[in-house]
A and B are shown apart, each in its own frame.
Chain A
Amino acid sequence: MDGQPNGNDLTLGTPEDVMRDALQSRVRVFRHDPALVLDFDNGQFNQHMVSDDQARQVTVEATETAAAEFGKTLQTAGRQIVRTSITVDTGYGDAIGVMRQAIVEGAV
């Protein structure tokens, strides 16, 4: 789903959907591929990126977007959680957990 509920969609949106949407949108921009769909069960950053730097930068920016959806601003502590937790071999599903932790512990 696209995260935002619409009138005909009876499924409740969840906070994870916000974070998944933010990460998917950012990876789409990074890859210049608007049709890219991330596999949050088995997919990994190394399918689309080559370095830890790239994976971390994309995740930091996606986390900022998600934090803004919750009315929060990501701080340096939150960015550091992402930069020290994400590698190019991290799974997209695990990245959602890291984003979540960054928002919980590093956003106000």
Chain B
Amino acid sequence: MNPRMILRLATLAQLIVPLTLILMESPARSQELFSAKMIAPQRIEAEVSAPFGPYNTNVDAPEISVFEIINSGQTTKTVERPLSHVNKQVTNNHLVVTFDVPAANKDFDHYEVQVRNYKTADDPLTFRGAVYSITVSITSASDKKLSLIIRGLNTTDWQRIRKWIAEVAASGPTVTVDLGAAGTRTLKVTNASYIEMRPDCFPLELGQRYGECILGANLALDDRLPVGIPGTVKLSFPATAFDPQLADNLPLELVKNGVTGKISITPLGAAQDRDPIRTNVIEAGGSFNTSIKLDADPATNKKPDRENQATADLRLASKSVTFADKTRSFWTWTAAQLDAQVSSGKITIDSLSTNTLRGFTQIQHVRAIERKEGIDFFRFVGEGGAAADRDLRVIEYTGLGDLRYNPAILNRVLDRDPLPDHAKRIIVELTPFGFEVGHRQVRRDPLFASDDFIRRFRAAAKLQLDLPPHFQFAIENRCWWRGEVEKDRFRNYFTTSFTIVPGKLSTNSSLGIVLSYDRGSLPPFSTPRESAFKIGLRFRRKEW
């Protein structure tokens, strides 16, 4: 049973049973009427904080019972257990009872304690509630790591908990991975890769004695968890983990039967565009194109013919690193990125102008500004790298600087209260100003004459309309004013695409069918402009 549920059951019992007392007591004290907690293995302390005297005179008059709730298939059964080593005393006019219970059943779920015939100003009352104890839950399971949360009361000795989890992790507990139809696997924990120094405790209000605390810990696994496949993990502790020496008298009954959790799986969305901060490291695609050049061959003045070609599209990137993060402003660095669009056929007047390769490193400074409509994002982007045509006839080594702006008023969800994955969204990015400088290296047969000193101004705008779950429409225009050429200084590249997303594949990959229309040319502008219609597939993968 979920530990929060146990807390709620316990407090619900407090609420219902002694209702008359609650009405008489001050609100702060009413929270302390009854509590029961494991204080050591198989030892429970129950406390009734409704005034013991003058209504009760004998500590043996209230009847104490303990029940073990046992899982039985889809239901539970309740079995009363005998008490031993019972110690009853009155402390601060509260009845405090401690006692031992027998070893728990193998299908144990939780204990409940009942106190009957507790006299009050009005009638004798009955208290009943679940026994709170230490629990462990898995918050995330991915890659070679399990993230755990250990819960307990603020009165728990958390240094003992830290020592226990470290020693248990070193003893190599097993992790059973259940992938449903895909079968099961067994991994081993190698060590605790991280244990929080101190727990986070919910702040206590005046009059409260108990609150829940949580301590985080990460366990390292000896192999990777499956990526992109839904499934569950079960962390099973060896019997030695509960030896008195190792467990150090910690009440770990709720942990003995193991801990289950889900493999982390957030589907990766399909998209035509790259993420500004790269978490997707490979995007590959292929398309069939029909295109025609917009310019005649500069050498022969031959009129271009329509061409039908195939294009392979590959984009690779290392993951972005964030640094100097001051919440509303931060820097990111993506060490290496490659954009390649490689078409079949010779690069002549009839081949695709977007037949280009570009490798670069990118640094961004991002500023977020709160607006009434949301958050404006300003990106100051610097890139350095090389661009070339597919045959490496001409290579440009350039550095560029851009201002990219995502205005809050134009980046918004269009529906009022949409379902998850069904919100219609509009996304706009403007690049009002950018520049590019560098050096052009001619290796052979340039189609266009140009100065070797590259100097350009650039601007761009991009609009994307998401119509989930299956459609995405994007339109983008980029333009350059080129200082390195004598004529045709203005160049434009326009692209519009319609992406059909058959379904989300997994947390790690996505697939889209892309219909697009391109017009214009891209740096290094070493081939004629084109007008091309493409149909193809795009595959994205986060880890490979």
Q: Which chain A residues have a beta carbon within 8 Å of chain B's beta carbons?
A: 4-8, 10-18, 29-32, 39, 42-44, 46-54, 56-58, 60-61, 64, 69-70, 72, 76, 79-80, 83-84, 87-91, 94, 97-98, 100-101, 103-105
Query: Which of these, A64, A76, A87, contacts B322 with CB under 8 Å?
Result: A76
Whether the pair A103, B266 counts as a contact (CB closer than 8 A) is no
Residues of B within 8 A of A105 (CB): 194, 216, 218
Whether the pair A15, B323 counts as a contact (CB closer than 8 A) is no
Q: Using C-beta atoms within 8 Å of the partner chain, give the interface range for chain B.
A: 35 or more
Query: Which of these, A4, A47, A58, contacts B419 with CB under 8 Å?
Result: A47
Provided the pairs A5-B205, A44-B420 are in contact, do residues A97 and B147 lie with their beta carbons within 8 angstroms? yes
Of the listed stretches B39-47, B90-98, B423-431, B486-494, chain A binds B423-431
Residues of A within 8 A of B210 (CB): 12
Whether the pair B406, A101 counts as a contact (CB closer than 8 A) is no
Is B125 in contact with chain A by the CB < 8 A criterion?
no
Interface string of B316-332 (1 = CB under 8 A from A): 00011111110110100
Whether the pair A17, B202 counts as a contact (CB closer than 8 A) is yes
Residues of A within 8 A of B27 (CB): 6-8
* Nearest B residue to A103, CB-CB: B200
Whether the pair B372, A88 counts as a contact (CB closer than 8 A) is no
Whether the pair A76, B205 counts as a contact (CB closer than 8 A) is no
Q: Identify 21 residue pairs between A and B in the complex whose beta-carbon atoms are under 8 Å apart, listed by A's number.
A: A5-B208, A10-B15, A11-B8, A12-B212, A18-B202, A32-B372, A32-B373, A44-B421, A46-B420, A48-B413, A49-B413, A51-B406, A54-B374, A57-B377, A64-B327, A76-B323, A79-B330, A87-B266, A97-B147, A104-B147, A105-B218
Provided the pairs A51-B406, A84-B322, A97-B147 are in contact, do residues A46 and B211 lie with their beta carbons within 8 angstroms? no
Residues of A within 8 A of B460 (CB): none
Provided the pairs A30-B375, A47-B413, A94-B264 are in contact, do residues A42 and B327 lie with their beta carbons within 8 angstroms? no
Of the listed stretches B272-280, B300-308, B475-483, chain A binds B272-280
Min CB–CB distance A101 → chain B (angstroms):
6
CA distance A101 to B8 in the complex (A): 25
Min CB–CB distance A36 → chain B (angstroms):
9
Query: Which of these, A54, A57, A97, contacts B140 with CB under 8 Å?
Result: A97
CA distance A103 to B411 in the complex (A): 29
CA distance A81 to B536 in the complex (A): 35
Chain B residues 441 to 463 lying within 8 A of chain A, measured CB to CB, are: none
Whether the pair B216, A100 counts as a contact (CB closer than 8 A) is yes
Min CB–CB distance B331 → chain A (angstroms):
10
Whether the pair A89, B267 counts as a contact (CB closer than 8 A) is yes
Residues of B within 8 A of A31 (CB): 374
Residues of B within 8 A of A10 (CB): 11-12, 14-15, 30-31
* Nearest A residue to B132, CB-CB: A12
CA distance A97 to B138 in the complex (A): 10
Chain B residues 168 to 222 lying within 8 A of chain A, measured CB to CB, are: 194, 196, 200-203, 205, 208, 210-214, 216, 218
Q: Which chain B residues have a beta carbon within 8 Å of chain A's beta carbons?
A: 4, 7-8, 11-12, 14-15, 26-28, 30-31, 139-140, 147, 149, 151, 194, 196, 200-203, 205, 208, 210-214, 216, 218, 264, 266-269, 275-277, 279, 319-325, 327-328, 330, 366, 368, 370, 372-375, 377, 406, 411-413, 417-421, 423, 425-427, 466, 468
Query: Which of these, B7, B328, B373, B406, contacts A11 with CB under 8 Å?
Result: B7
Residues of B within 8 A of A11 (CB): 7-8, 11
* Nearest B residue to A48, CB-CB: B413
Residues of B within 8 A of A15 (CB): 200-202, 212-214
Query: Which of these, B139, B202, B279, B327, contacts A13 with CB under 8 Å?
Result: B202
Whether the pair B319, A84 counts as a contact (CB closer than 8 A) is yes
Residues of A within 8 A of B323 (CB): 76
Residues of A within 8 A of B213 (CB): 15
Min CB–CB distance A57 → chain B (angstroms):
5
Whether the pair B375, A54 counts as a contact (CB closer than 8 A) is yes
Whether the pair B327, A12 counts as a contact (CB closer than 8 A) is no
CA distance A23 to B360 in the complex (A): 36
Residues of B within 8 A of A91 (CB): 266, 420
Provided the pairs A7-B27, A47-B419 are in contact, do residues A83 and B266 lie with their beta carbons within 8 angstroms? no
